[in-house]
Amino acid sequence: MEHKEKIRQFITRNLTVFDDEVEFADSDNIFELGLVNSLYVMKLLQYVESEFDIVIENEDMDIKYFSSVDNIARLIERKLATV
Amino acid sequence: MKEIKCIIWDLDNTIWDGILLEPGAVRLKPGMKELLTELDSRGILHSIASKNNQEDAMAQLKVFGIDHFFIYPEIHWNAKSTSVEGIRTKLNIGPDTLLFVDDQPFERDEVASCFPEVETMDAVEYTRLSDYKRLRPRFITEDSARRRLMYLEDMQRNQEESAYQGPKEEFLASLGMQFIISVAGPDDLKRAEELTIRTNQLNATGRTYDYQELEDYMRSDDHLLLVCELTDKYGSYGKIGLALVEKSEEHWRLNMLLMSCRVLSRSVGSVLLTYIMSQAAEEGKTLLADFRQTGRNKLMYATYRFSNFKEISNDGNGNILFENDLSRIQKYPPYITIHFPS
């Protein structure tokens, strides 16, 4: 499965609202749209590390890298490229 | 060496003499029930890794009147290292806080080869456990004596959570969580010391504080020592959070912030931080925070970073100073009722 599809599914599983009401683009800021609580970045961080077998370093822990499907996918690809 | 939080017991020729699947009755080891009871009252958890038939083994434990002591028992035919890892994950505690007791050298070696941090012990030595120093916490607090019950409440919560179909936040709202922040009093100090010793993952510095130090900070006018308790419809998680703030003219400095790993899944970790940020902002101060990387506390680093803290110094040895200009303070989660210090 493509990275973006996995990320999208994870976000959908953790929505604060019912999933059948929601549509969002890969470029949408999921925090600004109120789709997820900001506390959930912690779960997302753990998910991304275990699912893609990468380590998110201190310098990558910026909320902007986790704010949309596109940005998360970009972070993952950058990390996979440096392994 | 860390204090032991959980003992993982074998059954045959360890908890009892004899082998359950062989003819002839098994007999509980002399003094075993008293030992389990004593350790349980100190807040040490018990679990099981046994190669047996689960139903028969549980029935036998019931006959001996000791079945209620064991949480997350692993009774099946798979490798014991798998069982140890299963128990460790469910309890969410470090391997260096586990003790594995088994009469078979093979089983002890198998566990030790996978998890060198787990201490292993031959079952013949069980009589020395009650005096063993890693099983003697300095204080027995109200929270330690209730520990097993709190984990049982957790099991119930987790079952209900995995059965829940709606959105995650709706489930959290259904728990009726109350987060109580208060200024530490004399009655909180033992538990506060215990928290600094036992907390690894959500701990900003990993530094331990003893009773006397904490008492001094409690009485100091230049410091604020805060404790938090979390309750929900199942009961109380106990005192699960602690923060120490140093107050000066220009800024507040968060010397210590920690939160028990038991509440990790409840997404309450940032509530205390939000409170401290709001208070500092109200007093017109900026907020500094000390952080020391311990190899275990990455989630705490993430908590700070995602709360808009920036590194202003880093000595390259893991000692970091954060600063927050308090321009963006995240809101409290809507599914928790928060009680503030009066």
In a domain, B178, yes or no: yes
- Chain A interface disruption, residue of B170, B179, B306, most A CBs within 10 A: B306
> Which conformational region is residue A53 in: left (phi greater than 0), alpha (psi within -120 to 50 degrees), or beta?
left
CB contact under 8 A, A39 and B269: yes
Which residue bears the tokens 């210090």? B341
* End-of-domain residue from the set B94, B118, B135: B135
- pLDDT exceeds cutoff 90 at B72: yes
pLDDT confidence of A11, banded at 50, 70, 90?
confident
CATH of the domain at B72: 3.40.50.1000
- Containing H/E element for B60? helix B54-63
Q: Check whether residue B131 and residue B189 sit in a common domain.
A: no
In a domain, B155, yes or no: no
- pLDDT exceeds cutoff 70 at B104: yes
pLDDT confidence of B78, banded at 50, 70, 90?
very high
> What pLDDT sits at residue B263?
81
Q: Is B251 helix (H, G, I), strand (E, B) or coil?
A: strand
For residues B242 and B191, is the Cβ–Cβ distance under 8 A?
no
Nearest-angstrom CA–CA distance, B174 and B202:
25
Q: Check whether residue B179 and residue B302 sit in a common domain.
A: yes
Token duo for residue A29: 């800021």
Structural domain range at position B90: 6-135
CATH of the domain at B200: 3.40.630.30
Min Cα separation B264/chain A (Å):
10
- pLDDT exceeds cutoff 60 at A56: yes
> What pLDDT sits at residue A41?
78
Q: What's the mean pLDDT in A35-39?
A: 67
In a domain, B85, yes or no: yes
Min Cα separation B338/chain A (Å):
16
CB contact under 8 A, A17 and B167: yes
Instruction: Specify the higher pLDDT residue, A40 or B87.
Output: B87
Nearest-angstrom CA–CA distance, B242 and B236:
16
Token duo for residue B47: 């679990």
In a domain, B158, yes or no: no
Output phi, psi for B336, to 5 deg.
-125, 135
In a domain, B279, yes or no: yes
Query: Per the structure, how many domains does chain B have?
Result: 2
Facing residue for A58 by CB, picked from B167, B168, B301: B301
Residue B286: Cβ-neighbour burial (10 angstroms; 0-12, 13-18, 19+): middle
* End-of-domain residue from the set B135, B159, B175: B135
- pLDDT exceeds cutoff 80 at A22: no
Span of A53-62, B19-28, B183-192, B260-269 with lowest mean pLDDT:
B260-269
Pairing of strands B177-183, B202-203: unpaired
Q: What's the mean pLDDT in A33-43?
A: 72
Q: Check whether residue B206 and residue B97 sit in a common domain.
A: no
Identify which of A1-5, B242-246, B332-336 has the greatest average pLDDT.
B242-246
CB contact under 8 A, A61 and B302: yes
pLDDT confidence of B107, banded at 50, 70, 90?
very high
Q: Check whether residue B86 and residue B179 sit in a common domain.
A: no
Residue B40 contacts by C-beta under 8 Å, 6 or more apart in sequence? Answer: B46, B69, B148
> What pLDDT sits at residue A83?
63
Facing residue for A38 by CB, picked from B301, B306, B311: B306
Would you list which residues of chain B are within 8 Å, Cβ to Cβ, of chain A? 166-169, 267, 269-270, 299, 301-303, 305-306, 308, 311, 330, 333
Q: Check whether residue B315 and residue B226 sit in a common domain.
A: yes
In a domain, B19, yes or no: yes
Nearest-angstrom CA–CA distance, B75 and B251:
55
Percent share of chain B, pLDDT over 70: 99
Q: Check whether residue B250 and residue B205 sit in a common domain.
A: yes
Whole-complex ipTM? 0.80
In a domain, B208, yes or no: yes
Predicted confidence (pLDDT) per residue in B222-270, tens digit:
999 999 999 999 889 999 999 999 999 999 999 999 998 878 767 677 8
Q: Check whether residue B231 and residue B121 sit in a common domain.
A: no
- Containing H/E element for B223? strand B223-232
Nearest-angstrom CA–CA distance, B219 and B208:
19
Q: Check whether residue B210 and residue B276 sit in a common domain.
A: yes
Residue type, A54: I
Terminal-residue alpha carbon distance, chain B: 39
Nearest CA-CA partner of B181 in B342, B339, B330: B339
CB contact under 8 A, A15 and B167: yes
- pLDDT exceeds cutoff 60 at A19: no
Residue type, B198: R
- pLDDT exceeds cutoff 90 at B53: yes
Domains of chain A in sequence order? 3-82 (1.10.1200.10)
Q: What's the mean pLDDT in B1-27?
A: 94
